[in-house]
Amino acid sequence: MIIRTPEAHGFTGSHPAVAGLKREDLRAGRSGYAVQTKRLYLSPLCLDDVDDVKAIFGHKSVARMTHAIAHPFSDADARAYVEKARHNSSPRLPVFGIRDTDETLIGVVGLERTTCGQASGLHQFGPSVGICIAPEHQGHGFGVEALEGLIGYAERFGGHRVLHAAHFGDNAASARMLARAGFLYTGRRTPEISLARQDSYEALHMIRLL
């Protein structure tokens, strides 16, 4: 079953909302749901995506901007990533593959419940947004479009009031993308581990009110 943002129907609006998916489908945990935006389909990952996932995260420039993706990124790593995404994805915390009009996997976007910052006693915001676009598909607005599709989904079906996101201080592209999708800086900066960097690096935290 496909849910569509207003833009996918030819309408415009600053806060996309999805329509057409029954709440009982989500409560039952059925996985055959997807989000359609103007140019993209967001749908659950499948085992056929393993090679494409490896190609996306195999770029060192991509891996070093993530927390948990190592470099090099092996076949086994890619399969484990897809299997974990398939196991953990749920209606409240979906993990979507980002697919273009040719059904090519160009990235991944999703929500996960993670600790916001490493220091103890910090306030936890809502679930964290994770997004990655393959380098060859960056610079075309696909990241913002995928984020807006995910946000529209979360507004209607996630039951969340706030979404959290963070980017490393040297990731200017993610900073621009998140700002365009309506995320605001909280002022919090924390050292976060990056497996690909094999070290910690300062991350800037943002939130998006729903």
- DSSP assignment string, 28-87: TT----EEE-SS-EEEE--GGGHHHHHHHHTSHHHHTTSSS--SS--HHHHHHHHHHHHH
The pLDDT value given to residue 156: 85
Q: Looking at the predicted structure, is the pLDDT value of residue 121 above 80?
A: no
Q: In the chain, what are the domain boundaries?
A: 2-209
Helix (H, G, I), strand (E, B) or coil at 164: strand
Residue 197, CA distances (Å) to 60, 66, 159, 193, 200 in order: 9, 9, 35, 8, 7
The pLDDT of residue 9 is: 45
Do residues 207 and 184 touch, judged by C-beta distance below 8 A? yes
Reading the block at residue 99, the tokens are 């697919």
DSSP category for residue 127:
P
Model pLDDT for residues 122-147, shown as the tens digit of each residue: 456 789 999 999 999 999 999 999 99
* Identity of residue 210: L
Question: Which residues, in sequence order, are CB contacts of 207 under 8 Å at separation 6+?
Answer: 125, 126, 162, 163, 164, 165, 183, 184, 186
- Computed over every residue of the chain, the mean pLDDT equals 84
Fold of the domain built from segment(s) 2-209: Aminopeptidase (3.40.630)
Residue 147's nearest CA partner among 202, 83, 206 is 206
What's the pLDDT at 158?
Answer: 83
User: What's the pTM value of the predicted model, to 2 decimals?
Assistant: 0.84
Q: How far apart are CA 185 and CA 181, in angstroms?
A: 12
- What does the pLDDT look like over 153-192, one tens digit per residue? 999 888 899 999 999 999 999 999 999 999 999 999 999 9
9-68 pLDDT, tens digit each: 442 333 333 334 443 433 333 445 789 999 999 999 999 999 999 999 999 999 999 999
Q: Tally Cβ neighbours within 10 Å of residue 15.
A: 12
Q: Quick one: pLDDT at residue 124? A: 67
